Chain A
Amino acid sequence: KQEVTQIPAALSVPEGENLVLNCSFTDSAIYNLQWFRQDPGKGLTSLLLIQSSQREQTSGRLNASLDKSSGRSTLYIAASQPGDSATYLCAVRNTGGFKTIFGAGTRLFVKA
Chain B
Amino acid sequence: DTEVTQTPKHLVMGMTNKKSLKCEQHMGHRAMYWYKQKAKKPPELMFVYSYEKLSINESVPSRFSPECPNSSLLNLHLHALQPEDSALYLCASGSGQGRKDTQYFGPGTRLTVL
Among B31, B42, B44, B107: residue with most chain A CB under 10 A: B42
Given A43-B90, A43-B108, A98-B55, verify A34-B42 contact (CB < 8 Å).
no
Question: Which residues in A have their C-beta under 8 angstroms from that of B106?
Answer: 43
A-B contact pairs, 9 of them (CB 8 A): A43-B90, A45-B105, A49-B100, A98-B48, A99-B56, A100-B33, A101-B45, A104-B42, A105-B42
Q: Is the CB of A42 within 8 A of B108?
A: yes
Interface size class of B (residues with CB under 8 A): 20 to 34
Q: Which A residues lie at the B interface, using CB under 8 A?
A: 31-32, 34, 36, 41-46, 49, 51-53, 89, 91, 93, 97-105
Q: Is the CB of A44 within 8 A of B102?
A: no
Question: Which residues in B have their C-beta under 8 angstroms from that of A103?
Answer: 42
In whole Å, how far is B71's beta carbon from the nearest beta carbon of chain A?
16
Query: CA A43 – CA B92 in complex, angstroms?
Result: 10
